[in-house]
Chain A
Amino acid sequence: MYTKKECVAMLLAGGQGSRLYALTQDVAKPAVPYGGKYRIIDFPLSNCVNSGIDTVGVLTQYQPLVLNDYIGNGQPWDLDKQYGGAHCLPPYQTALGAEWYKGTANAIYQNIAFVDRYNPEYVVILSGDHIYKMDYNDMLQYHKDKNADATIAVLDVPMEEASRFGIMITDDDNNIIDFEEKPKNPRSTLASMGIYIFTWSKLRQQLIDNENNPDEDKDFGKAIIPNMMKAGQKLVAYTFDGYWKDVGTLDSLWEANMDLLNPNIPIDLYDPDWKMYSRNPVLPPQYLGENANVENSMIAEGCIIDGNIDFSVIYEGVTIEKGATVTDSIIMPGSVVKSGATVEYAIVGENSVIESGAKVGARPETVANRDDWGIAVIGNKITIAADQVVGPKQMVPDLRKK
């Protein structure tokens, strides 16, 4: 007889990440590479394991091949368990028919049976879009201490940024009294981090009621949270003061990588007490050649570097040839930058080739009008021809709506 689990995590990983354009053409956003050897989903998964949560349902929908393959049986995160562990949960067919996940709440609703197997007291709802290190156990303890029905992790953001987030309005005791999605005139600076802990029995009922009401959105922010508030249930805000970054756009993905190179920004991947786990490639150590010139950068295994690299994050198996220059850029796994090519302020996707003499991206000061400047982006498996120029803010292929 297996004991029940106190807390089960449900990780929403079905998002397309449409604002990452070329990088999410064939992979879901949580599977996008980050930090030289990780994928975004490694952060919530490692946080779960480091917080002692050993049962994680991963809800997949959009382009699940890479993600399913990556998570596998959960072994890289020690989540291969006899009872519990990591489980990919795609939408499925039932006797009544088949349907996609219609929203975040519906995705959990469709997997009530999965959660019930573990008979948990609490469920933590996570998303695969954020880079942060957080002990969910501290948050769970807070949830218990407050005797809450739902606890929402919040980040105190600068007022000028508050209108980009879902904002929680709280009383002096951290009780959430109101909630506004991307308000024009924010009444608070407490931004929702998309991390929720619910008392399962309460959430379970809310999900069923939500499903039975055809007029409601099937979404946590739009329906479940407001409904719980209306019903007078106890919702509290849990303030988190560490590093947290939404990597939903190309700019924020680039910034979040660059943050790793900034000693003043508190995201430390080298902390032995809070290891980040990932599926490791089987590659020899990286080799830096006679002509290599590397500063302020992170480089993963299997790379062959003989060029100049500054302020960049280079993923596994990348080749930077002699005379090539990569600055302020992200080069994802398996790509090649050939001799004489220049990559500046750019993201180069997986297994792409930048031929000799090509020029990708440019420094901000090279552009007269700052609005014309942005990160240049090369998608996966793209070849940029010799001497081709990809200007700042350009995308190859360009998937933006004109």
Chain B
Amino acid sequence: MSLNKKILGVIFANMHEDVVPELTRERTMGSVMFGGRYRLIDFTLSNMANSGVDEVGVVTKSNYQSLLDHLGSGREWDMSRKNGGLHLLPPFSNVASGMYRGRLEALYGITDFIKHSDADYVIMSDCDVITSLDYNAVYNAHIKSGADITAVYAPCNLSLETASHTNVFGIDDTGRINNVLINPQLSGECNISLNTYIISKNLLLSMVLDGAAKGVYSFAKSILQAKCGEYKIMGYKHDGYFSKISSIKTYYDANMALLNTENRKNLFPENAPVYTKIRDNPPAKFAIGAKVTNSLIADGCIIEGTVENSILFRGAKVGKGSVVKNSIIMQDTVIGKNCSIDCVITDKIVSITDGKILTGSANYPIYIGKGAEI
């Protein structure tokens, strides 16, 4: 699986956090919980690990305590290495771009890190797309086409609401990107950017330094959009299953999509496991009278009630007589007895006391913040 050429991975942990402000109030986009036992960054980082990208920098700027705690030394991704491995890159106080405004500026802040790597290419990715992607294939396409930049995209039926947080590519017959729309007002079948790019290290460095000199900071605006005539920017079509988080609604839908067996098979293929932090929870326990259908249940859950069409994270508890439907119950949330919970997202360590009735709607799930007691 390992790549012939050394590739440096760069993950932007904070990008897009404005699309789910509830979930990112106390954490980065990369550390938003997903799928019963994961955080969003697990998918990108596991893709890198599974593709043999074993030197990765994670760029972050704020709210990063949970991210640092989650990633630790990178051991769970086999990235606790003497050479390469995982590097956490919080802002550098005495670099002008400490609190960066865009991807170019963020990269400017880690210029030394990029320079120091002996990789020839850089893969950049955000944490808002959940997919299983082999970067070897992207790299091979990049080399074959002789592109300056290869951008990963996927065809998608876009709604007006999600389009406002999405970049759309126009692609010619040769696969070259000839038009870039940033957060456009349109809907229908589009080729949307999955915010994953491969580019040679030297070209990237020259773009970053040039951008800093000219005071531009957005990679999408100042490089992809402004220079798609000048640079050869090729699209790489990703056919596999993916979901993209662009609102609390799409976050909810992306979780619920995992209840579909086909989707799970695509996201968790046997040869590309998704790694995450280990918590050493015992197996889930189902008591007398438990009734659980069409749900994802993580280790450490104790279920005495009824659970339908829901996702329960590690250590969640559902008391006797309670009914949980169409909900996302995050880590260590405790639901008491005789509660009725429908279309609710509870953040970590929420406590819902006996007899409570909470009903949201599938197009507007109720969100309950971390540590709340109801």
Contact = CB atoms under 8 A, between A and B. Distances in A.
Does A associate with B in a complex?
yes
Interface of A: 35-37, 75-76, 269-270, 275-278, 280, 282-301, 304, 309, 313-315
Contacts of B311: 285
Given A270-B302, A293-B291, A294-B292, A286 B282 contact: no
A301 B297 CA distance: 8
Given A297-B286, A300-B299, A290 B280 contact: no
B284 interface: yes
A277 B278 CA distance: 10
Given A270-B282, A270-B302, A299-B297, A287 B287 contact: no
Main secondary structure of the interface of A (DSSP, over half): loop
B264 interface: yes
8 contacts: A270-B285, A282-B275, A284-B264, A285-B36, A285-B298, A288-B297, A298-B286, A299-B297
A294 B290 contact: yes
B295 A288 contact: yes
Contacts of B109: none
Interface string B228-267: 0000000000000000000000000000000101001001
Contacts of B267: 284
B292 A288 contact: yes
A302 to B, nearest CB: 9
The winner among B75, B273, B283, B292 for most chain A CB atoms within 10 A is B283
A319 to B, nearest CB: 11
Given A285-B37, A301-B298, A301-B299, A295 B290 contact: yes
B300 interface: yes
B293 A289 contact: yes
Contacts of A291: 293
Contacts of B300: 270
A228 to B, nearest CB: 38
B302 to A, nearest CB: 7
Given A295-B288, A296-B288, A290 B293 contact: yes
Interface string B9-36: 0000000000000000000000000011
Interface of B: 35-37, 75, 259, 261, 264, 267-268, 273-275, 278, 280, 282-300, 302, 311-312
Contacts of B298: 285-286, 301
A284 B37 contact: yes
Contacts of A282: 273-275
Contacts of A36: 282-283
Given A36-B283, A270-B302, A296-B286, A284 B294 contact: no
A275 B289 CA distance: 27
A293 B291 CA distance: 6
Contacts of A298: 282-286
A280 B293 contact: no
Nearest to A269: B282
Contact of B280 (A280, A284, A295, A301): A280
A299 B283 contact: yes
A76 B75 CA distance: 11
A123 to B, nearest CB: 27
A296 B284 CA distance: 11
Nearest to A261: B285
B36 A290 contact: no
A277 to B, nearest CB: 5
Nearest to A296: B288
A218 to B, nearest CB: 37
Nearest to A312: B286
A283 B270 CA distance: 9
A287 B296 contact: yes
A294 B286 contact: yes
B282 A280 contact: no
Q: Which of A269, A284, A296 has the most CB of B within 10 A?
A: A284
Contacts of A315: 283
Contact of A287 (B261, B275, B286, B290): B261
A292 B274 contact: no
- Among B264, B268, B284, B312: residue with most chain A CB under 10 A: B284
A284 B268 contact: yes
A286 B296 contact: yes
Contact of B283 (A275, A300, A309): A300
A75 B299 CA distance: 20
A292 B300 CA distance: 19
Contacts of A289: 261, 293-294
Closest 6 interchain pairs by CB?
Answer: A36-B283, A285-B36, A269-B282, A300-B283, A285-B298, A282-B273
Contacts of A76: 278
A287 B296 CA distance: 5
